[in-house]
Amino acid sequence: MAVGVRLPTALSLLVLGSPVWAVEKVNLDYHVRLLPQSDQAEVRLTLAQGSAVRSLDFDLGDGSHYSDFKADGQWQLAPGKAARGVWRPAADKTSLTYRVRISHTRKNAAFETRMTPGWALMRGDELVPAARLDQRDGVELVARLEFELPSGWKSVETAWPRIGKNRFRIDNVSRLFDRPTGWMLAGNLGSRRTRLGETDVTVASPRGQGMRRMDVLTMLTFVWPQVQTLYPRHPGKLLIVGASDPMWRGSMAGYESIYLHSRLPVISESGSSPLIRELTQTFGRISDQDRSDWISEGFAEYYAIELLRRAGGMSDERYQVLENSMHLLGQKAGTLRGEQASPAQVARAVLLLQELDREIRLKTRNKRSLDDMLRGVMRLERVSTQEFVALAESVIGEPSKVLDTELLR
Confidence of residue 21 (pLDDT cuts 50, 70, 90): low
**What integer best gives the mean pLDDT of the chain?**
92
Tell me what the mean pLDDT of segment 334-350 comes to. Answer: 94
Residues in the chain: 409
The residue that leads in pLDDT, 227 or 80, is: 227
pLDDT band, very low/low/confident/very high, at 2 (cuts 50, 70, 90): very low
Domain with CATH 2.60.40.3650 in the chain: 24-101+123-178
pLDDT for 297 beyond 50: yes
pLDDT in tens, 83-111: 999 999 999 999 999 999 999 999 888 99
Selection from 320, 325, 369, 356 nearest residue 343 by Cα = 325
Average pLDDT, integer, range 185-194: 96
CA distance 247 to 230: 32
CA Rg value for the chain: 24
Q: Answer yes or no: is pLDDT of 5 > 50.
A: no
Confidence of residue 355 (pLDDT cuts 50, 70, 90): very high
The pLDDT confidence band at residue 398, using thresholds 50, 70 and 90, is: very high
Banded model confidence at residue 15, pLDDT cuts 50, 70, 90: very low
134-173 per-position pLDDT tens digit = 999 999 999 999 999 999 999 999 999 999 999 999 998 8
Q: Above 60 in pLDDT, residue 287? A: yes
Q: Tens digit of pLDDT for each residue in 205-225?
A: 999 999 999 999 999 999 999
Whether pLDDT at 14 is above 50: no
Q: What is the pLDDT of residue 66?
A: 96
Residue range 309-327, pLDDT digits in tens: 999 999 899 899 999 999 9
Task: Give the whole-angstrom CA distance, residue 231 versus residue 129.
Answer: 29
The proportion of the chain whose per-residue pLDDT surpasses 70, expressed as a percent, equals 95
Answer whether CATH 2.60.40.3650 is correct for domain 24-101+123-178. yes
Question: Is-above-0.75 flag for pTM?
Answer: yes
For the chain, what is the HEC assignment?
Answer: CCCCCCCCHHHHHHHHCCCCCCCEEEEEEEEEEEEHHHCEEEEEEEECCHHHEEEEEEECCCCCCEEEEEECEEEEEECCCCCEEEEEECCCCEEEEEEEECCEECCCCCEEEEECCCEEEEEHHHHCCCEEEEECCCEEEEEEEEEECCCCCCEEECCCCEEECCEEEECCCCCCCCCCCCEEEEECEEEEEEEECCEEEEEEEECCCCCCHHHHHHHHHHHHHHHHHHCCCCCCEEEEECCCCCECCCEEEECCEEEECCCCCCCCCCCCCHHHHHHHHHHHCCCECCCEHHHHHHHHHHHHHHHHHHCCCCCHHHHHHHHHHHHHHHCCCCCCCECCCCHHHHHHHHHHHHHHHHHHHHHCCCCCCHHHHHHHHHCCCCECHHHHHHHHHHHHCCCCCCCCCHHHC
Instruction: Of 7-21, 239-253, 386-400, give the lowest mean pLDDT range.
Output: 7-21
In tens, the pLDDT along 370-395 reads 999 999 999 998 999 999 999 999 99
